[in-house]
A and B are shown apart, each in its own frame.
Chain A
Amino acid sequence: MSQPKILVVGGGLAGLAATMRLAELGVHVDLLSLVPVKRSHSVCAQGGINSVNTLTRQQGDTEWKHFDDTVYGGDFLQHQPPVKEMADWGPRIVDLMDRLGVPFNRTPEGFRDQRRFGGTLFKRTSFAGATTGQQLLYALDEQVRRREVEGMVAKYEFWDFLAPVLDDDGRCRGAVCQDLVTMEIRAFPADAVVLATGGNGLIYGRSTMSMVCNGSAVSRAYQAGAWYGNGEFIQVHPTAIPGADKLRLMSESARGEGGRVWVPRKPQDSRDPREIPEAERCYFLEERYPKYGNLVPRDIATREIFDICTNEGLSVEKDRLCVYLDLTHIPRETLDRKLGGILEIYEKFQGVDPRTVPMKIFPAVHYSMGGLWVDYERSSTGGMVEGSPRNQQTSIPGLYAIGECDYQYHGANRLGANSLLSCIFSGLFVAPSLVAARGAGAGGVDPARFFEAEVRRQDERHRQLLGRTAGNENPYDLHQQLGNLMTRVATVVRRNEQLVEAYDEVCSMAERWHRCAVSDTGNWTNQNVVFTKALGDMFPVAKLILKGALMRDECRGAHFKPQFAMPGIAATDPIAKREEAEQWCDRFEENTAKWLKSTIAVCGADGEPEISYQDVDTSLIPPRPRLYGLVGGEVIEEVWKERQAGRLDVNDQSSSLAAAVG
């Protein structure tokens, strides 16, 4: 047997954090990535990273409140112990990144500066200009490079993960991967395999995600038997810049620094936006959400922007839906210092200076809250047991998932600046779990035959694809059709009749994929066949997204079905109002009992998803109505609090703690 090692697939924040910590623990890591790790999609994260900090702490903030904001923002769909653990780790993670040299913006006295992000009233977000993800990724990339020089890390860049290798007991013993230059397919034996392969935005065609975010590695693990959790929860970011090839992100930090979203009150007012007087502008987020203003959680901001354009007809342009995101009232120097990176992107790609002219933006697919189901071991204090081999382990023993590709931390909606935290946290936290897991699969049969079988299978699949030159389907066109369909039916507004149709359509597209012609039959840097393969693996995930969305008859976070929406209070008379609020709360409780469950998709033998539901651990903070800006929300809250108080007498201490902060 060779010396023990771990295979980390994906070199974004999560993969690099895990690699750094593992190498430090003396474990050899094979780090495999589609691109040089420094080019991973984490570089696109802009706004910042959340944690309680010395300043917010003195304003009454605590790790518990960060935890509470995260589960409330996520509509309570996430298991609470991992989220609590993550919030607890927040301060030390930001401190660590600071020590690694991340050039966080500074206060005049030299402390880290923070800004406010969506879904919280505290300034928790540390930032490095408007390229925070890039700076965090580089810091970890540098540490991993240092370990590579020491011989603890071997990088395999431009490699594609094809399948996990399972033994007779169903335990993961390594993976089969392909060199994207030489096209060689070979096995990587490992004591554990960690997927840190990010989101799957490419299933939606154009999104804010990078071209490598095709979700293929996760799909391949899912097809090998790993469960997929909460697939239907896809974050649509409120503010992106339209583009033919990509929808480029315009960070939430633009609003965190005071950016205001508005439309002219007169539909398609043709005046220069700077000449439209204040009174003739509709700052709809500020009007509808006086408490959070432009910084309501993303799902809400997205629906409002969508609504004002589609239903109220107030899109700035007639043929292209968009609203203004206005920074022009902020001093130029401040903008350059705090938002330079994103303003340059806008300027470069749109040819307009956003420091002087309001930007035109519209929502775009941005983040997968769902992902591979992963386990955790709950500690006695309500967090996670550090070093437990169960933490971040998928339903396949020995196969782990971290970062955006797990389903663990963000529930039904992710708060801005929490993704960088969850990626680094899960990466650091999984390392001792992997060390503990290392012994579990050792001994017994030599896994060589499992590797040989899987390599043969993958060779065969590859050869078959190369031989397909006569088909009448073009993989790039088919991808575009899939993207258009998914964007149309499975983003901001979802309707059952559309989802049913779309499911059939995706099934037929998956059939058509078998008739895709490959236009490059060579065996050298064949991007054509690699793309076609990845496209084939998008369909199983597209299906589980659609089926999960179809079956979930409720509104929760990013999943919005108008048919099941719970509007606010219509009555004006106090008694009727009260009565309506009681009914509202009854309905909320019924819905919670029925739908506050993780969606679990298992890939059936025929490739179709089988959906089941699992209870969510909400033992720390009892679920409560998400009332941001809801009409009559104050009455509902009153009724809700009374009901909770009534229960308090009989309940355990943890919920009393929660009520105290709620």
Chain B
Amino acid sequence: MIKAAEHLDHESGNGHGQAPEVHPVRVRILRQDVAGGESYWERYEVPHEPNMNVISVLQKIAALARTRDGRRVAPVAWDCSCLEEVCGSCTMLINGRTRMACSALVDKLLAEDPVEIEIRPMSKFPVVRDLVVDRRRLFRSLERVKAWVPVDDSYDHGPGPRISPEQQQDAYPLAECISCGCCLEACPQFTKIELSRGDAESEADFEARRRQAFDANFVGPHAISQAMLFNAHPTGGMIADERLEALTSKGGIQMCGNAQNCVAVCPKRIPLTRSIARAGRAATVWAIKKLFDR
């Protein structure tokens, strides 16, 4: 049925009629060689392509491994995986705004600033190298609020609880959180914790110290929202009190200053402030209940 030897060649965009005159894309990247090291700017230039995103710019820079003035340098390090805004890996500060590099389209960025695109690593997490940051704290917050359904086991006990379409529609947006950390980057109450291991400190001791530091500080909007997601689930809600206990402990919801930056930068448009408001009310009720139960 198929005669011609053709390829599955998705040459992106080149067929869209006459291409407008395009200049090379200029990029300025804030680099850092090692954790705790000095940071410095480097400038690059790559050919423009239609429909290009920041990831393809970084790919071209990696292949080039040269700065704009032709100096050979080590390729820029960055995190990415799915390239369709669902894995949460590639969060960066692009033109000063926290966002996912995969869905940051070059033409739109150039409309913001036609001269140059600026890329920096997130500022609220320790830099590992260049644009790679250590986001373990983000996942630790999910442990703090017990963001899971406490099932007995994984054996067969029939279906889960009946859920109305309204409940599902309410829960689903919260469940779409990709743990990218945009909300944390934008939150004034979430501040950077960067520790380094002492000379005489064992790995385990350092890990314990880091965990202590994480747990004493703001848990973050993403975790508050996850707590509300699981508290609203019929089985998840069976340990609602434990989550509220976590949310009213040190670094809990009381730290939220209601800046509402989180909801503004969330790439998945998760109603984070709604979750925070719900959590606030639930925490108040729970605190009063706790008072009377004493």
Which residues of A pack against B, CB within 8 Å? 20-21, 24, 35-36, 38-41, 43-44, 92, 95-96, 98-101, 103-112, 128-129, 131, 134-135, 138-139, 142-143, 145-146, 148-149, 181, 206, 210-212, 236, 240, 242-249, 303, 306-307, 309-311, 317-321, 337, 341, 345, 348-351, 362-365, 428, 474, 476-477, 484, 487-488, 491-493, 495, 498, 519-522, 524-528, 560, 562, 565, 567
Contacts and interface: CB of A to CB of B under 8 A. Distances in A.
A320 B51 CA distance: 14
A525 B77 contact: yes
Contact of A525 (B15, B84, B129): B129
A470 to B, nearest CB: 12
B198 interface: no
Given A139-B149, A244-B56, 13 more contacts: A41-B81, A96-B154, A112-B159, A145-B139, A211-B81, A242-B13, A310-B6, A364-B10, A476-B59, A487-B7, A519-B74, A525-B77, A565-B1
Interface in B93-148: 102-103, 105, 128-130, 132, 135, 139, 142-143, 146-148
Contact of A244 (B51, B167, B176): B51
Contact of B15 (A100, A105, A320): A320
Given A101-B236, A143-B151, A487-B7, A306 B2 contact: yes
Given A145-B147, A245-B56, A476-B63, A211 B83 contact: yes
A20 B179 CA distance: 21
Given A101-B160, A519-B74, A562-B1, A246 B84 contact: yes
A100 B149 contact: yes
Contacts of B14: 319-320
A525 B85 CA distance: 23
A357 to B, nearest CB: 15
Nearest to B73: A519
8 contacts: A21-B154, A39-B89, A211-B80, A247-B10, A307-B1, A320-B12, A348-B85, A528-B65
Q: Which of B77, B87, B130, B163 has the most C-beta atoms of chain A within 10 angstroms of its own C-beta? A: B87
Contacts of A243: 10, 12, 51, 53, 83
Given A149-B143, A244-B51, A210 B87 contact: yes
B87 A522 contact: no
A338 to B, nearest CB: 11
A246 B9 CA distance: 12
Contacts of B84: 44, 246, 248-249, 345, 349
A131 to B, nearest CB: 6
Interface residues of B, number: 87
Majority SS at the chain B contact face: loop
A146 B152 CA distance: 12
A607 B78 CA distance: 32
A24 B153 contact: yes
A562 B160 CA distance: 49
A297 B154 CA distance: 32
B294 interface: no
A286 B170 CA distance: 36
A244 B12 contact: yes
Nearest to B6: A310
B103 A210 contact: no
Contacts of B143: 145, 148-149
Q: Which 9 A-B pairs have the closest CB atoms?
A: A319-B15, A242-B10, A98-B160, A320-B15, A476-B63, A142-B148, A520-B74, A519-B65, A110-B162
Contact of B8 (A35, A108, A364, A560): A364
Nearest to B78: A527
Contact of B49 (A99, A244, A303, A498): A244
Contacts of A306: 2, 6, 8
B289 interface: no
A235 B229 CA distance: 36
Interface in B52-89: 52-53, 55-56, 59, 62-63, 65, 72-75, 77-89
Contacts of A351: 105
B143 to A, nearest CB: 5
Contacts of B154: 20-21, 24, 96, 143, 428
B13 A320 contact: yes
Interface of B: 1-16, 33-34, 49-53, 55-56, 59, 62-63, 65, 72-75, 77-89, 102-103, 105, 128-130, 132, 135, 139, 142-143, 146-151, 153-154, 156-160, 162-165, 167-169, 171-172, 175-176, 178-179, 230, 233, 235-236
Contacts of B10: 206, 240, 242-243, 247, 320, 362, 364
A363 B6 contact: no
Contacts of A44: 82, 84, 86-87
A311 B176 contact: no
A545 to B, nearest CB: 15
A348 B103 contact: yes
A128 B229 CA distance: 15
Q: Which of A148, A307, A320 has the most C-beta atoms of chain B within 10 angstroms of its own C-beta? A: A320
B40 to A, nearest CB: 15
A311 B2 contact: yes
B66 to A, nearest CB: 9
Contacts of A108: 165
B180 to A, nearest CB: 10
Nearest to A309: B6
B197 to A, nearest CB: 12
Given A143-B148, A311-B1, A320 B11 contact: yes
Given A101-B233, A104-B168, A248-B84, A491 B148 contact: no
A528 B81 contact: no
Q: Which of A36, A98, A236 has the most C-beta atoms of chain B within 10 angstroms of its own C-beta? A: A36
A345 B85 contact: yes
A565 B1 CA distance: 8
A110 B1 contact: no
A40 B81 CA distance: 8
B171 A103 contact: yes
Contacts of B103: 348-349
Nearest to B59: A245
B156 to A, nearest CB: 4
A235 to B, nearest CB: 12
Contacts of B65: 519-520, 528
A320 B178 CA distance: 33
Contacts of A41: 81-82, 87
A311 B88 contact: no
Contact of B2 (A95, A248, A310): A310
Contacts of A96: 154, 156
Nearest to A108: B165
Nearest to B79: A35
B165 A131 contact: no
Nearest to A361: B10
Given A129-B172, A181-B128, A244-B13, A99 B151 contact: yes
A95 B51 CA distance: 42
B150 to A, nearest CB: 7
A463 B185 CA distance: 37
Given A210-B81, A211-B80, A43 B148 contact: no
Contacts of A143: 148, 151, 154
A92 B8 contact: no
A98 B159 contact: yes
B139 A106 contact: no
B156 A95 contact: yes
Given A35-B81, A44-B82, A99-B151, A493 B128 contact: no
A433 B160 CA distance: 27
Contacts of B172: 103, 128-129
B179 A38 contact: yes
B33 A103 contact: no
A247 B8 CA distance: 11
A148 B144 CA distance: 12
Nearest to A98: B160
A350 B65 CA distance: 29
Contact of A107 (B82, B165, B175): B165
B156 A135 contact: no
